[in-house]
Structure formats: C-alpha cells, structure tokens
Structure 1
Amino acid sequence: MGGSADANGAGSVRVPVPPARPFLDTFRGNLKETFFPDDPFRGVVRERGAGRRTVAALRYFFPFLEWAPAYALSTFKSDLIAGITIASLAIPQGISYAKLANLPPVLGLYSSFVPPLVYALMGSSKDLAVGTVAVASLLISSMLGSEVSPTENPVLYLHLAFTATFFAGVFQASLGLLRLGFIVDLLSHATIVGFMAGAATVVCLQQLKGMLGLVHFTTSTDVVSVMESVFSQTHQWRWESVLLGCGFLFFLLVTRFISKRRPKLFWISAAAPLTSVVLGSVLVYLTHAENHGIEVIGYLKKGLNPPSVTSLQFSPPYMMLALKTGIITGVIALAVRLL
C-alpha cells in the first residue's frame, strides 16, 4: 500500500534519468569544476549594481580593502613587535641569500621588504611566508653560474638573474590566473623533502667560506668538491672569522634552547637575530675586523636602484637559460611553500 513494487518485488522507487545536456554545456561545466572549483567571482556576480560589483571585485584582488577598515588599533603593538622581529631576521637572511646567489647584497635587502609590502596589499593568507628562500638562491647560482661566471662577467650574470626572476614571476602569475595551482600538488612530498634536505646541506657547506675566512672557494656545490676546497686551504683559515662565526652561532642556538625550555621567554629567541646583527656590526666597527681577514659587506649604494626592466635579457643565446632557470625556480619556490 502507498507504493508500487518493481518486477522483483522490491519496494524501491525508480529515479528518473536526468535529461541529456548539450556537449558544450557539459564541457564548460567540467572546465569550471576543474579550474574554478571555488568560483572566485561568485561573490562579485551576486552583488547588485555596477558600483557594488566594482567594490567586490576590488576587494577580491586587493584583500586589504576588506580587512583594513576593520583593523583594531589594539593589535598594533603586537603587529609592530612581530614586524620588527621578522625584519631583524629577514635583513641578514636576505643579504645571505643574495651572496648565496652570487648577487649584490643590496638586492637581498630589496627582496626582504618589497615582497612583503606587495603581499600586504594583495595577499589573502596570514600564514604564508613571503620572501627569498635558500633553495631558489642556490638554483640561480648553480644554473646561471654553469654558463656565465659571476666574477668574470658580473653584468651579464646580473641581467640573467633579473630575467630568470622575471620568468619565474610570470610563470607563477600564470598559474594563479589560469587556476593551475593544483599542478604543484602532483609533486611528490618525499621528493621535495629529500631535495630540501640536500639543499640545506649544500647551503650549510657554502657558509664554510665565510666562516673560515676563505677568499677563493669552489663554484661547485657537491660535497666532495666543497670539502676538498676547504681542506686544501687550511693554511688560509682565519681564526678571527672562526671565532666570530662560531660565537654568534652558539649564541643563537643557546637562545633558541632557552626559549624552548621556557616558553614565556620566547622573546629571547625572537630578539637574538637582531642582537647578533647589532653586536656583530659594533664589533667589526670597533676592531676594524676587515683588516684581520673577516669579510664584510662593504659600502651599499644609497637611494633606490634604477628599474631593472631595461636589464632583461631576451636575446639569444642566454634567453633559454634564463627561461629554464626561472621556470624551475618558480616551481621549486611554490613547492617549498607547501612544506
């Protein structure tokens, strides 16, 4: 009663088959589901009126227009402390990464504050780390340095670095505009972790040049070549550089250990990088350490650098080298963000 049974006597209800959709509609729906699963413009389309849609579109592309009006001044103190803490680490880190890529130190300073300023206006994630990474610097140094010497032809090397960075930015922006970010998910996590571990080892070995005060150092990145270069120049090791480097390394490790043991003293570890930079600069200035075998950054040109658009190298035979370096660096930089 109240229902009909099928031929087998079961009391199930037959669901009607949906009508066939045109091929173009099905194809369009599949594309939208693949490339626009979150439908980023849904909120824009729902708004009524051209003015509201314009404001919604601006908020989508510039998220600061949404959170800035609601910003509470009560959090300004915490944000200021966090900014100073990150800057104290980002400045020496940016300079180190620039030297790792065989680029002028001033470019490391630009890479420390320009990306965060842009991301503050256009970023949508509060947990994303923005800036240079050691792996990208190492890749640029290795791939470009294999074709162009940064010491024999520094101008061409610098132009190729600008061009590779340009291609990396275009590649990453294209992935975002075309909603192809899911491609990065296809990279094996084990492969990325192994690559990062190997890159970290290479980066640590590269620091032996400055730690030991060596003037001439191998351009190779493999462990055997680096260790051979280190131990073949034992007569050129400078105890001043070793003492200064190991001293500040020990200081950073101790402050980190204290902060882990006593979480309330987290500020000790947070202030350690800035303290190291200040103390190191004072010691170098008072002792004239540059006269005792300790390498210093030297004079940095004041003012803003001229635009590098005119320095891009789009002519053969180096364009393909810059393109290859930029794409690989862009992929690795995106993959590193997933770890």
Structure 2
Amino acid sequence: MLIVVLLTVKFLTPLFEYTQNAILSSIIISAFIRLIDYDAAILIWKIDKLDFVACMGAFLGIVFKSVEIGLLIAVIISFAKILLQVTRPRTAILGKIPMTSVYKNLKQYLEAIKVTGVLIVRVNSANYFSNSSYSKEWILRWLIEEEDNLKANYEPRIQFLIVEMSLVTDIDTSGIHAFEELHKSLQKIDV
C-alpha cells in the first residue's frame, strides 16, 4: 500500500497540479456571472446613455485591469458628463396641452400643440458664461427651423418668442449679455 501511495504521489501528482486553479476559477466565474445585473444595465441604458457608458467603463476596467482602474474610468466619464451638462443645458420647445393652461415639452407630450405665431422655449438650467452662448444659438436655430417649417406649410410666421426660465436658478452677466444679444437679433428679424 505504501508503494502504491509513493508511486501515485511521484508520478500522478503532476497530472492534478492545476486542479485547484480550475476549481477556484470555476467558483469565481459562477459567482461573477451572478454579480452581473443585466436588468439594471438595461435600465441605465434606457434612462441615461452616458451613465451606461460610465457603468460599462467601470465594469471593463475592473475586469481587465483592477478595481482602482475601473473606478477611475467611471469617475472620469461621470466628470465629463457633468461638464457636458454644464456647458450644454437642456432646452425644450413647449406646446399647450389642449383644454388646459399648461405648457409642456413637445417631444415628451405628443398631445401638446404649438401656439400659432408664438415659439415657446424653456431653458432648464442656470445660465453661466460656460453655456450662455450655447443657449442663445439653440434658441435662434429653433426659431429659424420653425420659420422654415411654417413657410413650407404656408402658415403664419412667428411673431413672438417666449423664453420660459422658471427652472433657471442662477444667471451671471455673460448669461444676461447673451439674452441681450438674442433680443437684438430678434429685433432685426422683427420677432
């Protein structure tokens, strides 16, 4: 019996050398697969594409490098998202909900209708030096597009532009100057 054990240890042990690694790997892989929450990733994709990019960046960084690298990638992407939101404020064209005095985003509320001769634009964030020219340019671009659409459909032109800023919490001098320039531009085209 001693000879059989010695021969097994001497000659058969190298055959089982990597068994521990294989068993440990299979345990880690099976636990790792249960850690991935596909439903949460799909929800993040539906809600915010940049958050999904940060999530996938963190995931891939952790899988292929280390936890620190994954977190660093997620932080950098999230910081870039914040900078993008600060420099590109959300704006929307509003329309009136029939039978009410409520005005809502035309893209979100399909039942909302445009008011004849009026373009209503909502600015959803503070207006600083970093985004004031962007807001002004978008408003003018929407006005020109609306005018072109109205001409194509032989409808009355826009006479008034209303900039709804109830969600704006702060505005600096650059923001004020941008709206003064917008006002001068509107006067030139008789709006």
Q: Could you tell me the TM-score, scaled by structure 1's length?
A: 0.19
**Which fold has the larger relative contact order, with Cα–Cα distance below 8 Å and residues 6 or more apart in sequence?**
1
Q: State the structure with more CA Rg.
A: 2
Q: Could you tell me the TM-score, scaled by structure 2's length?
A: 0.28
